[in-house]
Structure 1
Amino acid sequence: MSDRSSARREIGDRDVEYRRVRALVIGAGAAGARAAIELVEQGVDPADVLVLGKRDHGDAHTTWARGGVNGALGTHDPEDDWTIHAADTLNEGHFLNEPAKVETVAREMPDRLRELDDWGMAFSRTEAGEIDQRYFGAQSFRRTAFAGDHTGESMLETLIEQAQQRSVPYRDQVMITRLLTEDDRVLGAAGYDQDSGEFLLFEAEQVILAAGGYPGIYERHSSRDDENTGDGPALALEAGARLMDMEFVQFHPTGMAVDESDPEWEPWRGRLVTEAVRGEGGRLYNAQGERFMERYSPDQMELDARDVVARAIAQEIREGRGTDNGGAYLDISHRSREFIAERLPRMYERFQSLGVDMAEDPVEVAPTAHYGMGGVLVDDRGETDVEGLFAIGEAMGGVHGANRLGGNSLAETVAFGRVTGESVAKRLQAGAQHHESGRIETLAASHFADLEATTDRDGSDSPDSVMADLRALMWDHAGILRSAERLQEGLDRLQTLRARTADLTTGDRRSRSFAAALEVGFAITVAETVLQGALERRESRGAHYRTDALEPDPQQQETIVADLDTFGGIRLSRRELDDPSPAVQRALDAGYELDYHQLE
């Protein structure tokens, strides 16, 4: 149900909407929704919970995750189990994952898939009526459950329906602009209503941050332009939490490559062509008609790890074998029209609307920034260094390491949504943590004054212009191929962009330009952590590829952590990783591996 219980307070001579709750969930996608469900399932009164969304309710980035969600059900391959899922995840992450978090996701997911099924999620089915599962890249077995090619959309619809059945309150069109903390403890959050422009203050005993990731800071990316701009990680960093693995950005091999001069196609640049197309047998060809993955990965072919396939496409383009629109061809026309329409309905319909028949012709694809493997450093239950502040979903780090296994993003959302929701509920049941409301009001008043100074400002630059330049900088200096020289140049240029943010033109708080000014501030903060981490990691590992350090360095199998020093600058440190459990180590030692040719 929507939130109807706000009050009003005078805070620093401003009329502010105020709401006190026990558990505040920032982010209304799959992770936030599943956490809210678990809070109520564990006995927390729904009236003590509030879910905040930046967009309209139900319109979270989760809906753009299409191909599937992993869980070792063994529908087709009964020899699969959670330990092999964990082993595949660690292998794909080049062993920079935190094993305990990986094992939590792998162990949780069979039950989470069955739970979603019981809740009515529209999974695709086998002939026997079981949840169907398909191959995804670098997975030893068919482990990716799916609902056609609209898995994220179907998952979020199911979770929202379950949250509504439990009377979980929500509030949409809210932009959180500051997490309020004192003495390394979270007090709540401040922001504003994007429809009315009113300031909002939320006081909370526990805060769950599920506000997405940061691939939107790149020029070619698979997100919408006003999401995944680093809001969540930046909010956490500014609140005193640490970030980890920020240098690891996944460039998905198959974003749409389009004629950017064509107004019908240009908005689709970089948008994802789901891995499910390759999982169902799609093949990659260069402009000369060569199935080039035979050169790069003859065993896994198009279903090798995402970083491998993305670099292969980039190499073909660099060596002059790219398509007219700077990509490669992805072809599934050897499958029947009926098969494509049933298994890939959204892709089929999208390209049909653009005049391309996937049953007859290939589509053009090129790498696109898709996912930030890094995020907020949390413990095994999702809590940050700031007491009472948790981070889950794409906002958290630790699960994916140097490269994410396809199908694990949606898995992480519901696995840690449940685990963290349970942990927060137990914390609340152990006793309330009463805050001095006057202190949170003092902190909020100072922040609202800063927001007012950003309102209706007549500057010499626009937020959209600075964001466009930032995205170009990140693509050029911290993209698929990196070097110390280019990364340092990027850091130098970033300081110029940061200076430009002091003189932006903005409208009132209901305007898109006001929100964009805040987003570009978050994005620049996160971009610096990516550039600094990539410069510090003097090796190539997973999605991080240094042309001046081509091989992985065993001495650098450590996590790079970023926090703020006393002057607000980025400070880096290193952190050692634990070993996998004996059960997962046995699965690693067994050497399971996908055999692509089972698809042929």
Structure 2
Amino acid sequence: MERETYQTDVLVIGSGGAGCRAAIEAKKHGLDVVIVSKGLSYKSGCTTLAEGGYNAAFAYVDAEDSTQAHLEDTLRGGGYLNDPELARILVEEAPERLTELESYGALFDRQESGELNQRPFGGQTYRRTCFQGDRTGHEMMTALKEEVIRQDIRTVEEVMITSLLQDEEGRVGGACGISLQSTDLVIFHAKSTIIATGGAGWLYPVTSNALQKTGDGYSLAWKAGADLLDMEQVQFHPTGMLYPDSRRGVLVTEAVRGEGGRLINSQGERFMTKYDSRGELATRDVVARAIYNEIMEGRGTENGGVYLDVTHLPAEVIEEKLETMLLQFQDVGVDIREEPMEVAPTAHHFMGGTRINPQCETNVPNLYAAGEAAGGVHGANRLGGNALAETQVFGRRAGEYAAENVAKSKFKLNPAFLEEEEGRIKKLFREGDYYPFQLKKELQEVMWNNVAIIRREESLKSALNDIHVIRDKMARMKLPEVHGYNQHLLDALELENMVLIAELVTKSAIIREESRGAHYRADFPKTRDEWKKSIVLNKSRNEEYLAR
């Protein structure tokens, strides 16, 4: 196995919105910065797929809006499980970060007055979601990419990071991974390392996430000794596509409901007001459970969903503000100007993740996290529009404080570490009974059937047992050596991370004996005051709790 080595000051793992913003900020300090990505740079994360918008309390449309109102909505929507300091930072810094995006070249929709336009999103008291039609994330990533190129930041793509470099004192000094094109070992020596790898939507077979979201960052952080918190809090977006199978789970943006889309069951009933007075603009956890309930009680469509209808809107509104949705459904033979969409919930966002402080530091020296890879900002449920803001607010903070850490960083690598990692990877190439992709599918079905929208102790414990069985089967995986891009190797490495994170999600779901936000326990359907605390997991100690 050949080796390729990079020396840098700041290593950013992940090339999405948070990763690019972190790299741009670190570069401002005159440092050498490298971005490494498992997929293609700028194109493989979830930011570019985000459609709806970016929350910032500019108060251009509703003059009564304020950062305080944004904070209150965020805490209320998060079931008050949020880290209040992180939530405050999000709402206070979001407007300035959006202005910076504009300076990079991002264009957001504006009113005739020239001020930014803002649309309503679920769980928000006022209209504060800035947007670019229904392709906001794509617009952001285009601008961030151009700024990364202008700053001459090095990017390395199609390298799967398999472990963080650590010394005997637990300090991180970079990372190592495998080139998916050559299977060479790729080593990054860095004084500060930022995890910005996003979430783990592909723990489930139906997800809106990019293919790369298999919990890699959570796994890297966990194995390095970092705290993970609130891992049970997995958001299911209420509206994903239902068919064809190749498009199942693809996001149908909340902007559809923000612009006036109506949810209707198979009996022709607009049902959301039965569940929440805010109707279609209730928070995502409420809407997802309502849709699930309609389907389970026999009021779903033939394909197992409900209808999302915008046919009452003027065609020009759909063409201008929902252009991506119009084209997305036209591709499968549906004209949303004339007929309703069929939708159902899809795994979308992890509110939990690596525990950070306001400087994006983890409890592991020299290690930082930002974006969906970090937890605590959103609590038990994320408001639509807060994720894109989070990428910029905490991406910038991670880059700033990781850069400041460079001068004082200490690290001494044990050479045996690399030998051990190389040996571990080589052992994956063997004959066996199962291809990695087969075990991936088995794991996804376990999670979907037992650890999804509605949870119960019996099914959660059954899932935990099944996860352990899959882990045992991994010892009998078969992995052929191939020339060129090795999908089997990628599947095997991702499966290791997925099994670990699935176990942590399930354990946390068992521990939390209440329903709060996205975590709904049918056997504990009430929110309980004594559970207004985060569950913190660490590989070296029993679970702990953080009162909120």
Q: Give the alignment's TM-score, normalised by structure 1.
A: 0.89
Q: Distance in 2 between matches of 1:434 and 1:544?
A: 40
Give 1:433 shift: 3.0
Determine if the alignment matches structure 1 residue 573 to structure 2 residue 544. yes
Match of 2:379 in 1: 401
1:466 corresponding residue in structure 2: 439
Q: Does 2:495 match 1:537?
A: no
Instruction: After TM superposition, list the pairs within 5 Å mapping 1:11-26 onto structure 2.
Output: 14-26=1-13
Instruction: Look up the match of 2:232.
Output: 247
Are 1:515 and 2:490 counterparts?
yes
Displacement, 1:432? Answer: 4.7
CA distance in 2, matches of 1:15, 1:293: 58
Quick one: which amino acid aligns to residue 18 of structure 2?
A
Of 423, 426, 438, the match for 1:452: 426
Task: Determine if the alignment matches structure 1 residue 196 to structure 2 residue 182.
Answer: yes
Residue matched to 1:436: 412
**Partner of 1:584 in structure 2?**
none
Amino acid at match of 1:505: K
| Long gaps (5+) in structure 1 | 1-13, 259-264, 578-600
Shift of 1:219: 2.0
Q: Tell me the equivalent position of 2:62.
A: 77
CA displacement at 1:444 relative to structure 2: 1.4
Aligned length: 544
Q: Matches of 1:377 and 1:161 in 2, distance apart?
A: 31
Match of 2:535 among 560, 585, 593: 560
Deviation at 1:124, TM superposition (A): 1.3
Distance 1:177 1:82 in 2: 40
- 1:344 equivalenced with 2:316 (yes/no): no
Rounded to whole Å, the distance in 1 between the matches of 2:73 and 2:412 is 47
Distance 2:229 2:315 in 1: 44
CA contact (8 A) 1:36 1:49 kept: yes
* Superposition deviation, residue 184 in structure 1: 2.2
Whole-angstrom CA distance in 1 between matches of 2:445 and 2:338: 35
Deviations 1:154-183 (A, max 9, x none): 101101111111111111111101112121
Q: CA deviation at 1:294?
A: 2.1
* Cα separation, 1, equivalents of 2:11 and 2:331: 41
Displacement of 1:20 in angstroms is 1.4
Is 1:476–2:458 an aligned residue pair?
A: no
Provide the secondary structure at the position in 2 that maps to 1:454. Answer: coil
The sequence identity of aligned pairs, in percent, is 43
Distance 1:574 1:393 in 2: 22
Q: Secondary structure at the match of 1:281?
A: coil
Aligned residue identity for 1:199:
L
Query: RMSD over aligned Cα, in angstroms?
Result: 1.2
SS at match of 2:358: coil
| CA deviation vs aligned residue, 1:162-218 (integer Å, no higher than 9, x gap) | 111111111111110111212121021110111122110111110000011112101
Contact persistence 2:205–2:445 (CA under 8 A) = yes
The answer to whether structure 1 residue 359 and structure 2 residue 337 are counterparts is yes
The corresponding residue for 2:269 is: 290
Distance between the aligned counterparts of 2:349 and 2:296, measured in 1? 23
Q: Helix, strand or coil: the match of 1:481?
A: coil
**Paired residues of 1:52 and 1:170 also in contact (CA < 8 A):** yes
Q: Report the residue type matching 1:171 in the other structure.
A: V
Tell me which amino acid in the other structure corresponds to 1:436: K
Q: Which residue does 1:372 correspond to in 2?
A: 350
Residue aligned with 1:319, SS = helix
What is aligned with 2:473?
A: 500
* Matches for 1:196-235 after TM superposition, within 5 Å: 196-224=182-210, 226-235=211-220
1-structure distance, mates of 2:22, 2:88: 19
Q: Could you tell me how far apart the structure 1 residues matched to 2:159 and 2:86 are?
A: 30
Residues 440-494 of structure 1: per-residue CA shift (max 9 Å, x gap) = x321111111001113x22100111111111111111111111111111111111
How many Å apart are 1:53 and its aligned residue? 1.1
Aligned 8 A contact 2:228 2:354 in 1: yes
Residue 119 of structure 1, CA deviation = 2.1
Letter matched to residue 190 of structure 1: C
For residues 427 and 489 of structure 1, the distance between their equivalents in structure 2, rounded to whole angstroms, comes to 44
2:285 is paired with a residue whose SS is helix
Residue 503 of structure 1 aligns to a residue whose secondary structure is coil
The one-letter amino acid paired with 1:166 is: Q
Alpha-carbon distance in structure 2 between the residues aligned to 1:434 and 1:467: 38
SS of match in other structure, 1:494: helix
Aligned-partner residue type, residue 76 of structure 1? V
Q: How many angstroms apart in 1 are the aligned matches of 2:209 and 2:122?
A: 21
- Which amino acid in structure 2 is aligned with residue 508 of structure 1? E
Counterpart residue type for residue 20 of structure 1: Q
Contact 1:56/1:173 (<8 A) preserved: yes
Looking at structure 1, the residues matched to 411 and 231 of structure 2 have their Cα atoms a distance apart, in angstroms, of: 33
Structure 1 residue 383 corresponds to structure 2 residue 369 = no
Change (3 A) 1:574 1:432: closer
CA distance in 1, matches of 2:64, 2:30: 39
User: What secondary structure does 1:19 align onto?
Assistant: strand
Distance between the aligned counterparts of 1:506 and 1:337, measured in 2? 52
Instruction: Kindly provide the amino acid, as one letter, of the partner of residue 465 in structure 2.
Output: D
Letter paired with 1:361: E
Match of 1:67 among 46, 52, 67: 52
Q: Which runs of 4+ in 1 moved over 2 A?
A: 431-437, 507-510
Q: Is 2:188 aligned against 1:171?
A: no
Counterpart contact for 1:197–1:508, Cα < 8 Å:
no
Amino acid at match of 1:541: R
The reply to whether residue 127 of structure 1 matches residue 150 of structure 2 is no
> For the residues of structure 2 that align with 1:341 and 1:25, how far apart are their CA atoms?
38
Q: C-alpha distance in 2, partners of 1:187/1:39?
A: 16
Q: Residue 141 of structure 2 aligns to which amino acid in structure 1?
A: L
The answer as to whether partners of 2:359 and 2:397 remain within 8 angstroms in 1 is: yes
Contact 1:135 1:142 in 2 (8 A): yes
Q: Deviations over 1:412-451 (max 9, x none)?
A: 11000111211122222xx2535335x2x32111111100
Q: Deviations over 1:199-241 (max 9, x none)?
A: 10111110000011112101211123x3211111011101110
Instruction: Pick closer, same or farther for the CA change 1:110–1:451 going to 2, 3 Å.
Output: same
Equivalent pair of 1:211/1:232 in contact (CA under 8 Å): yes
* Paired residues for 1:261-276 under 5 Å: 265-276=244-255
Residues 101-140 of structure 1 mapped to structure 2, 5 A cutoff: 101-140=86-125
Residue 256 of structure 1 deviates from its aligned partner by 1.0
Once residues 196 and 133 of structure 1 are traced to their aligned partners in structure 2, the CA distance between those partners, rounded to angstroms, is 47
Indicate conservation of the 8 Å contact 2:172/2:411, yes or no.
no
CA shift, 1:507, in A, is 2.9
SS in 2 for 1:369: strand
Alignment equivalent of 1:51, drawn from 23, 31, 35: 35
Q: Are the aligned partners of 1:184 and 1:385 in contact in 2 as well (CA < 8 Å)?
A: no
Give, as a single letter, the amino acid of the residue that structure 1 aligns with 2:546: R
Q: Which moved more, 1:160-169 or 1:392-401?
A: 160-169
CA distance in structure 2 between the partners assigned to 1:508 and 1:242 by the alignment: 35
Q: Is the 8 A contact 1:213 1:229 kept in 2?
A: yes
- In structure 2, the residue matched to 1:39 is 26
User: 2 CA distance for matches of 1:341 and 1:122?
Assistant: 18
215-224 or 17-26, larger mean C-alpha shift: 215-224
Q: Is the 8 A contact 1:44 1:425 kept in 2?
A: no
Distance 1:488 1:434 in 2: 43
Partner SS state of residue 545, structure 2 = strand
Compute the TM-score of the two structures, normalised by the length of structure 2.
Answer: 0.97
Question: Aligned with 1:247: secondary structure?
Answer: coil
Counterpart of 1:329 in structure 2 is: 307
**Partner secondary structure for residue 219 of structure 1:** coil
Is contact 1:71–1:109 with CA below 8 Å preserved after alignment? yes
Contact 1:72 1:85 (8 Å CA) reproduced = yes
CA distance in 1, matches of 2:113, 2:103: 17
